Structure 1
Amino acid sequence: MTDVHDKATRSKNMRAIGTRDTAIEKRLAALLTQAGFDFRVQDAALAGFDFRVQDAALAGRPDFVIDAWQCIIFTHGCFWHHHDCYLFKVPATRTDFWLDKIAKNVERDERDLSTLIEQGWRVLIVWECALRGRLKLNDTDLTERLEEWICGGGQTAQIDTQGIHLLTVSPPRKA
């Protein structure tokens, strides 16, 4: 199947996809704030319920960091991070290119997750399908799952359309 756009248009469209302040990040930030967590700038004094965003000093540049609870939260797009859900569709054009690119994203995600856990962080992945789409969780359910995980002290988990689930993490590969 050929692409409906020419190469220049497709390239322009792909460049327009943001890496920060995405709709799913904004929704999650609003839910964290609604739950009593407040956004703070990177160098502000540490307070119990503050979160910061996009910390480049940490592996994977986490979307949200809650220092007082030793928590990191990532919002993962289902396409870019290859989530096995209805939002992930294998591209019909340049299939090998896209599958290779996505596989590298998944490999990097696994490496970053292992690094953060080794550093003592608890990590939560919130999938795009839990935040948008026809099967998304409602705000109440999503907020309850976030609070349950943040305050509950669990290790690594993910939230998708089915709720919250523990993640098993492979040990990092030795170079």
Structure 2
Amino acid sequence: MADIVSPDVRSRMMAGIRGKDTKPELIVRRALHARGFRYRLHARDLPGKPDLVFPKFRAVILVHGCFWHGHECHLFRWPRSRVKFWQEKISKNRNNDLVNAQKLAEAGWRRAIVWECALKGKRRIPVDTFTDQLEDWLHSGLSGIEIVAAPD
């Protein structure tokens, strides 16, 4: 199926999508801040510029968009136009995620990933539930956690 807007309009639309301060990221930030956690945002000195950095716990939280990071969930669909471009782009994002995860681990940082599907849609997790999971993880010392949408 052909795109319903011109390539120039589509390009402008895609360029307008933010990489920082997204709605899912703000949900996580507000929930943790309400529980008394303080953090740094988008630390440029760490691999991948993690969304939230907790130096006290030597931990980072990454809030991943399901489309941009190619999460195999109910929110992800491969685009039907420019298929090769999108496959390369999303593959590169996935590879960057792996490289950054390795670098963070080597530097002694623990990593949590919160997927967009856990925060929106019919299968989203209640805010208190994922906040409890993150709080428990931060205090646990475990190396990593991944928060995804509730099962069907």
Q: Per the shorter chain, which TM-score range?
A: over 0.9
Counterpart mapping for 1:4-23 below 5 A: 4-23=4-23
Which structure exhibits the higher relative contact order, with contacts defined as CA atoms closer than 8 Å and separated by 6 or more residues?
Answer: 2
Q: By how many angstroms is 1:149 displaced?
A: 0.9
| Aligned-partner residue type, residue 96 of structure 2 | R
1:33 pairs with 2:33: yes
CA RMSD of aligned residues (A): 1.1
Verify the 8 A CA contact 2:115 2:147 in the aligned structure 1.
yes
Residues 82-132 of structure 1: CA distance to partner in whole angstroms, max 9, x if unpaired?
111001100011111101100000000000000000000000010000111
Partner of 1:75 in structure 2?
A: 63
Q: Which 4+ runs in 1 deviate beyond 4 A?
A: none
CA distance in 2, matches of 1:153, 1:135: 28
- Alignment partners' CA distance in 2, 1:147 and 1:28: 11
Give the structure 1 partner of residue 129 of structure 2: 141
2:118 is aligned to 130
1:150 aligned to 2:138?
yes
Give 1:142 shift: 1.1
Number of residues of Structure 1 aligned to a counterpart in Structure 2:
151
* Residue in structure 1 matched with residue 24 of structure 2 by the alignment: 24
2:108 counterpart residue number: 120
Secondary structure at 2:68's aligned position in 1? coil
Corresponding residue number in structure 2 for 1:91: 79
Separation in 1, partners of 2:108, 2:47: 12
Unaligned runs of 5+ in 1: 38-49, 164-175
After superposing the two structures, state which structure 1 stretch, 139-148 or 59-68, moved more: 139-148
Helix, strand or coil at the partner of 1:158: strand
- The aligned amino acid for 2:145 is A
| Aligned-partner SS, 2:125 | coil
- Opposite residue 74 of structure 1, the aligned amino acid is L
What is residue 169 of structure 1 aligned with on the other side?
A: none
Q: Deviations over 1:45-84 (max 9, x none)?
A: xxxxx20100011000000000000000000000000111
Give the corresponding residue for 1:47: none
- Assess if the C-alpha contact under 8 Å between 2:117 and 2:123 holds in 1: yes
Aligned residue identity for 2:65: G
User: TM-score normalized by structure 1?
Assistant: 0.84
Q: Could you say what secondary structure the match of 1:10 adopts? A: helix
C-alpha contact 2:24 2:116 (8 A) present in aligned 1: yes
Counterpart Cα distance in 2 of 1:161 and 1:35: 22
